[in-house]
Amino acid sequence: MEFTGIREGSTDFFVPVQDMDDNFPPGTAPVFFNRRMELNRDATVLLCSVLRPSDYLDAMGATGVRGIRVGRECGIPVTINDRNPDAISLIRTNVSRSGLPAEVVSRDINALLSERSFDAVDLDPFGSPAPFIDAGVRGSRRFLFVTATDTAPLCGAHRKAGMRRYFAQPVKTDYHSEVGLRILLGFVVRETVKYDRGIEPLFCFAREHFVRLHLRITRGAAAADRALGRIGYIMQCGKCQHREEEKGMIPQGACCPLCGEPLQPIGPLYLGSIQDHRMLEALLEQIDALELGTKKELKNVITVCNEELPTSSFYDYHRIAKSLKVSPPDIGSVLERIRTAGFGATRTHFSGYGIKTDAPVPEIQRAISAR
């Protein structure tokens, strides 16, 4: 295996040399490393520097960079696990290079988390995290972090795969990235409540190729009931863009109040807030103290997340403008017109064309078509 040295944050480490003709990760290297996930790893380092878990498990270590960065840049005891012998060899090399007293283990993660627990468990598999959530919940004392890169099944592009993996009906919509995040959150809740535990989202976000959840695990039947009470459906009209929320595990049939079309249920998914705004404020206060390669982008993501309305979907105002056969105005003017009409309206980190608002569709259309 051929290596090259790179640096993320304040940490130097080795990664396998990838086939530069193969742009789709994991490429041809025997150990997986995705350079495009630096923002994801930076967010983990930032969050751990604020949360200060007593110990941290990098459950699918690969190169070990995520766990090593948490250990070196946050001063937190870390355990790094992987089943791949090539990965374990590289992890040991990188741990030795870093001077970090990390524990390196090679176990099936479901078996490991049946025997041991950690204050923070980080699941970052290639593809779906669904097979590992149950073990992650059982092995997490306070925090569970999850990455999903199977965005097509989550967001409705591969609908049957989404139904098989997450026991939910994803539908490809203009706000499919938020649907994917909320379906994943809903799945985590359903895996958690059977142990009389609940979850509280701390900082959850999506980019074009992944969904990332940072969650606090809460204990007790009351906590489980609170989390379960946030499960439900987005009821979407396929004709006029109207949508509404419906709580509960079984959707009730309904028709659109605007055009009379049957509403299509999307879910079950998580309808509650996906951010802890006190946590986001703490992250913004801490971020300049750290050496992060994606600091500017990450700060922008956190800032926009902190300002978002806690609605369960957003509107693509460019698509609405196209349906109205008008040129899309500046997004700032659309937001201002909606606010002037007495409704809330913000940008969203999910899309540069997205608007989060509690205004009804006709009001959004008026704000877009006004000149």
297 and 158 housed in the same domain: yes
Nearest to 254 by CA among 269, 272, 237, 271: 237
336 and 360 housed in the same domain: yes
Is pLDDT above 90 for 346? yes
Q: What does 288-304 look like in DSSP terms, one character per residue? A: GGS--TTHHHHHHHHHH
Q: Which of 290, 307, 324 is the last residue of a domain?
A: 307
How many other CB atoms sit within 10 Å of the CB of residue 164? 12
3-class SS of residue 184: helix
Q: What is the mean pLDDT of residues 330-357?
A: 97
Q: What is the mean pLDDT of residues 71-78?
A: 98
137 and 276 housed in the same domain: yes
3-class SS of residue 7: strand
297 and 334 housed in the same domain: no
For residue range 288-330, list pLDDT tens digits in order: 999 999 999 999 999 999 999 999 999 999 999 999 999 999 9
Residue 236 — very low, low, confident or very high, per pLDDT cuts 50/70/90? Answer: very high
257 and 360 housed in the same domain: no
Q: Which of 289, 307, 325 is the last residue of a domain?
A: 307
Q: Which two tokens stand for residue 155?
A: 């967001």
295 and 272 housed in the same domain: yes
202 and 159 housed in the same domain: yes
Residue 182 is predicted with a pLDDT of 99
Residue 27 is predicted with a pLDDT of 54
Q: Which two tokens stand for residue 140?
A: 């997490």
Q: What is the mean pLDDT of residues 233-238?
A: 95
Residue 191 — very low, low, confident or very high, per pLDDT cuts 50/70/90? Answer: very high
121-125, 194-198, 253-257: which range is least confident on average?
253-257
Residue 2 — very low, low, confident or very high, per pLDDT cuts 50/70/90? Answer: confident
Number of domains in the chain: 2
Residue 3 — very low, low, confident or very high, per pLDDT cuts 50/70/90? Answer: confident
220 and 348 housed in the same domain: no
Contact 8, 298 (CB under 8 A): no
Residue 368 is predicted with a pLDDT of 96
Q: What is the mean pLDDT of residues 349-361?
A: 97
Nearest to 252 by CA among 239, 264, 240, 238: 264
Residue 26 is predicted with a pLDDT of 53
Contact 282, 203 (CB under 8 A): no
d(CA 304, CA 204): 12
259 and 324 housed in the same domain: no
Q: Which two tokens stand for residue 7?
A: 């640096």
Q: What is the mean pLDDT of residues 21-38?
A: 71
- Predicted structure pTM score: 0.95
Side-by-side strand order, sheet with 263-270: 243-247, 231-237, 263-270
For residue range 101-138, list pLDDT tens digits in order: 999 999 999 999 999 999 999 999 988 999 999 999 99
What is the span of the domain harbouring residue 323? 315-369
Residue 25 — very low, low, confident or very high, per pLDDT cuts 50/70/90? Answer: low
Residue 17 — very low, low, confident or very high, per pLDDT cuts 50/70/90? Answer: confident
Contacts of 149 (CB under 8 A, 6+ apart): 126, 127, 209, 210
Residue 226 maps to which CATH number?
3.40.50.150
90 and 187 housed in the same domain: yes
Q: What is the mean pLDDT of residues 330-353?
A: 97
145 and 217 housed in the same domain: yes
Residue 23 — very low, low, confident or very high, per pLDDT cuts 50/70/90? Answer: low
Longest dimension (CA), the chain: 65
Nearest to 211 by CA among 191, 188, 241, 236: 188
Residue 355 maps to which CATH number?
3.30.56.70
Using only C-alpha atoms, the chain has a radius of gyration, in whole angstroms, of 21
Nearest to 149 by CA among 134, 129, 167: 129
Q: Which of 288, 307, 326 is the last residue of a domain?
A: 307
Residue 68 is predicted with a pLDDT of 98
d(CA 60, CA 131): 13
Q: What is the mean pLDDT of residues 249-275?
A: 95
d(CA 124, CA 172): 24
Contact 148, 37 (CB under 8 A): no
19 and 131 housed in the same domain: yes
Is pLDDT above 60 for 358? yes
Q: Which two tokens stand for residue 148?
A: 């999903």
